[in-house]
Structure 1
Amino acid sequence: MISMIGLIGGLALLIILTMRGMNLLIVAPLSAMFVAVLNGLPLFPQLAAEGEANFLTNYMEGFSGFIASWYLMFLIGAIFGKLMEDSGSADSVSKWITGKIGIKNAALAIVIACAVLTYGGVSLFVVAFSVYPMAISLFKEANLPRRFIPAALGFGSTTFTMTSAGSPEIQNWIPIQYLGTSPYAAWEVSILVAVFMMVFGYWWLKRMIMKAVNKGEHFIARENDPENNRKELPNPFLSLVPLLVVLVLSFIFHDSLAQSALIIALLGGVISTYVLNRKYFINFWDAVSAGTIGALIAIANTAAVVGFGGVAKATPAFSDTVNLVTSIPGSPLIGGAIAVCVIAGLTGSASGGQSIALPLLAPHYLDMGVNPDALHRVVSISSGGLDSLPHGGYVVTTIRAIAGETHKDAYPAFGALTVVVPILGVIVAIILFSLGL
């Protein structure tokens, strides 16, 4: 009982302190230490038996492991976003889009841009870095409250694209190795669920924005916002080329290099931005420096939360939770959805929820004769629900490090679109499968 109180209490502490705007580099290890103490984990490796889990080792392995895997992607992605901003490319594209679809549809333009890049294989974190400068320009032009930018970025990246059939994101690929399926598993149901999430989610986003506008909210500029008073901007079609370069290169090299393809893709984006728009830069090297600092802040905040997950996974309470949610009676699809969703919430990671639950779920459910394609799709969609609780790595990076917002202002809309909408999508998927689709 004490160990479970430690796990739930530590997670609650992390969420509450994060929502209050406290520094994640402090609150994440403190919350992890709370979990460790109440679960009886030694604090230091010197106090643990050989090979035994302990707070310091598990936290730092999670922290450093994330940085080792993602540092270059964060760095180049942040630099790419800053170069798009400094060259005026983001402004150019935003003005062209608003001219075509209307300034009232600024939020829709952001959602579409994120969706295209995500479905093209670009990492969610990188998509946020890349599209944010354009989002600032669009929201400023439309005079919309900037606190909704993270919600638009998250909705376009982590809902109807990330977990849909055919998506190259890892959340759609992890089930393949356990279920023997393909990336296009249950594509018919996937399309229907994706359309539902896209239509309902955008309606909800637009409704929240309009409600805020009617109450008098508007765009508030900041000192560090990109200047929008240039006399000359790059050609909008040439400004789109770097984004297309990232999309095409990530698609070409995805199968052979997996996530490392993003390094090549983003480098291609950086080089093409410079070559095509070099005469428009205000200060190229200042933009590179700003991108570097932004990347360090973003990856450190995210790694701090991943470290918490590393400690949580080593506790007896976590093992008990996994055993409980993976043995839920009733429909295997419901049990699988709940198991993956809960574990993703505890670890703050959609891929983490799948990687922990599927080795346990897959053999058991396949022996029961469950349709592997249906299980693949349900597990994939459900992993994108509770992974977006306030402490999630992507959540913290997008709201805090990239958009510079507070959880208090930005998370209500962000959580509505990235937690509630995917959960509703899972329910729709299970209903459709139960009807024989």
Structure 2
Amino acid sequence: MSGQIADIVSWAGLIGGLGLLILLTVRGVNILIAGPVAALLVAVTAGLPLLPPFAAPDAADFATSYMAGFTSFFGDWFFMFLLGAIFGEVMAASGAAASVAHWITARLGSRFALLATVLACAVLTYGGVSVFIVAFSVYSLAVGLFREANLPRRFIPGALAFGSVTFTMTSAGSPEIQNLIPMQYLGTTAYAAWEVSLVVAVLMAGLGYAWLSHMVRRAVAAGERFEARASDDARADTAALPNPLLSILPLVAVLGVFLVTQDMGKWALIAALGSGLLAGVLVGWPFLRDMPAAFSAGATGAVVAITNTCAVVGFGSVAKLTPAFMQALEMVQTIPGSPLIGAAIAVTVIAGLTGSASGGQTIALPLISPFYLDAGANPAELHRTVAIASGALDSLPHNGYVVTTIRAVCGETHARAYGAVGATTVVVPIIGLCLALALFTIF
């Protein structure tokens, strides 16, 4: 009986810890504080010793386990975050990111303000620019487009998020880390199962855009209009921007080098981003005086971005030590049918628990990949399943990108903006995941 009570308390603590993490981040509490506090609740309810002196020799404790997860992710991915953030800042400082985005929006015009915003984000994301930098780069253009089209600005976060963290982030060939992490565990390439990935990406892009457009039209029909703010940027002087064909060269460099260095595994991203960074500096040569500040801002942004992710990875590292977590993992592994189904559920839940696609993969893959590979899962199919699955429940309200984009970039609230974000970055990827599983089962 006491064991059953302990299990119930552990489940309550795990669910309560996730709820607390979501609540604190939605309320604006820094994730570096919210993460450890929520993990502490999970540890206490699981009966985990809090400090090493209180634990038996070689036994796990809260503090050590949290920091092990935190520092492990930092050590594995810091250089990728660093180069990615600096690359994004150089693209912004040189005007290359704005030039590419403006070229797309100019061709489509305010009549297609929503589509232009989504496409601008998609091109930059698939070109290797960090999703955080993409949001900052495209936001001012989105404001201008939404103003001209007189669309409700509360849908700007949804457009930015949909174009950045859905059909581009987890698709085959994407240089974003969410597509690279499975490579080191499964021995695959970034183009694993590209045929199914292409079909799923097209579905997600079409369905997500149709749904987002429908939401915007309903709001307009209900009388909502664009709301101007004193903080809105003035219209940019596009004459000062570099040529768009020249501006796209750094993105082409990233994708090209990434393609030819696949045998380097995740380190291919360093070579690709390094090449893109060099091209970005050359494109931005007239703005050379601004480059030291861009490098500095990128380095600072990289530390903030990776430590925010590390904070939720640490939460997951504590959560995976609880009886509730292990019971849930055992239940998933006993699901009948294709092993891909169990893997998809496990990664989806863990990414949701941590509020991070990359964090969820980092925690889940070492635990589940040996089991599912032994169960006969095709490594390429498992790679694509895991990548797509990680991009679903990760976008719950406590996700760092979601909080940053809604609040810091767009100046909105979750109450006004999260509906569109959740629909396009949670529901649509889940539908895409179901399609991927169906296609892998059929073929």
TM-score, normalised relative to structure 2: 0.81
Per-residue CA distance 1:154-189 (angstroms, 9 max, x = gap): 323332233334445554455566667665554443
**Among 407, 430, 437, which residue is 1:430 paired with?**
437
**Among 368, 391, 394, which residue is 1:387 paired with?**
394
1:216 alignment partner, SS class: coil
Q: Provide the C-alpha distance between the structure 1 equivalents of 2:404 and 2:190, rounded to a whole number of angstroms.
A: 27
1:132 corresponding residue in structure 2: 136
Superposition deviation, residue 72 in structure 1: 5.0
Q: Provide the C-alpha distance between the structure 2 equivalents of 1:242 and 1:180, rounded to a whole number of angstroms.
A: 28
Where does the alignment leave 5 or more consecutive residues of structure 2 unmatched? 1-7
CA contact (8 A) 2:17 2:42 kept: yes
1:218 aligns with 2:226: yes
- Once the two structures are overlaid, the 10-residue window that deviates more, 2-11 or 345-354, is 345-354
2:47 alignment partner, SS class: coil
1:101 aligns with 2:108: yes
CA contact (8 A) 1:148 1:209 kept: yes
Distance 1:222 1:259, change over 3 A: farther
**Among 199, 220, 242, which residue is 1:192 paired with?**
199
Q: Which amino acid aligns with 2:271?
A: A
CA contact (8 A) 1:249 1:264 kept: no
1:264 aligns with 2:274: yes
CA contact (8 A) 1:158 1:384 kept: yes
Distance 1:158 1:84, change over 3 A: closer
1:431 alignment partner, SS class: helix
- Once the two structures are overlaid, the 10-residue window that deviates more, 46-55 or 404-413, is 404-413
Q: Which amino acid aligns with 1:310?
A: S
1:314 corresponding residue in structure 2: 321
Superposition deviation, residue 246 in structure 1: 4.1
Map residues 341-420 of structure 1 onto 2, 5 A cutoff. Answer: 341-354=348-361, 357=364, 374-400=381-407, 402-403=409-410, 405-420=412-427
Map residues 147-226 of structure 1 onto 2, 5 A cutoff. Answer: 147-172=154-179, 184-214=191-221, 215-218=223-226, 220-221=228-229, 223=231
Q: Provide the C-alpha distance between the structure 2 equivalents of 1:219 and 1:254, rounded to a whole number of angstroms.
A: 46
Distance 1:399 1:244, change over 3 A: farther
Per-residue CA distance 1:186-235 (angstroms, 9 max, x = gap): 44433322221110011112222333445324254464x65535484224
Superposition deviation, residue 421 in structure 1: 0.6
2:240 corresponding residue in structure 1: 233
CA contact (8 A) 1:72 1:263 kept: no
1:428 alignment partner, SS class: helix
Q: Provide the C-alpha distance between the structure 1 equivalents of 2:192 and 2:83, rounded to a whole number of angstroms.
A: 33
Q: Provide the C-alpha distance between the structure 2 equivalents of 1:365 and 1:90, rounded to a whole number of angstroms.
A: 41
Distance 1:23 1:358, change over 3 A: closer
CA contact (8 A) 1:303 1:393 kept: no
1:14 aligns with 2:21: yes
Superposition deviation, residue 8 in structure 1: 0.8
Q: Which amino acid aligns with 1:218?
A: F
Map residues 73-112 of structure 1 onto 2, 5 A cutoff. Answer: 73-75=80-82, 77-85=84-92, 87-112=94-119
Distance 1:179 1:38, change over 3 A: same
Superposition deviation, residue 308 in structure 1: 1.6
**Among 28, 39, 43, which residue is 2:35 paired with?**
28
- Once the two structures are overlaid, the 10-residue window that deviates more, 397-406 or 37-46, is 397-406
Q: Provide the C-alpha distance between the structure 2 equivalents of 1:288 and 1:348, rounded to a whole number of angstroms.
A: 28
Q: Provide the C-alpha distance between the structure 2 equivalents of 1:167 and 1:340, rounded to a whole number of angstroms.
A: 19
2:343 corresponding residue in structure 1: 336
- Once the two structures are overlaid, the 10-residue window that deviates more, 269-278 or 172-181, is 172-181
Distance 1:40 1:305, change over 3 A: same
Where does the alignment leave 5 or more consecutive residues of structure 1 unmatched? none
Distance 1:220 1:276, change over 3 A: same
Q: CA RMSD in A?
A: 3.6
Q: Provide the C-alpha distance between the structure 1 equivalents of 2:353 and 2:126, rounded to a whole number of angstroms.
A: 26
Superposition deviation, residue 345 in structure 1: 1.8
CA contact (8 A) 1:139 1:145 kept: no
Superposition deviation, residue 330 in structure 1: 4.3
Superposition deviation, residue 361 in structure 1: 5.2
2:310 alignment partner, SS class: helix
1:346 alignment partner, SS class: helix
Distance 1:77 1:370, change over 3 A: closer
Per-residue CA distance 1:380-400 (angstroms, 9 max, x = gap): 322322122222344345445
CA contact (8 A) 1:128 1:153 kept: no
CA contact (8 A) 2:360 2:390 kept: yes
Distance 1:247 1:105, change over 3 A: farther
> How many positions carry a matched residue from both structures?
429
Identity, % of aligned positions? 54
CA contact (8 A) 2:332 2:342 kept: yes
**Among 278, 284, 289, which residue is 1:274 paired with?**
284
TM-score, normalised relative to structure 1: 0.82
Per-residue CA distance 1:241-280 (angstroms, 9 max, x = gap): 44444444544556432343365145325513531545xx
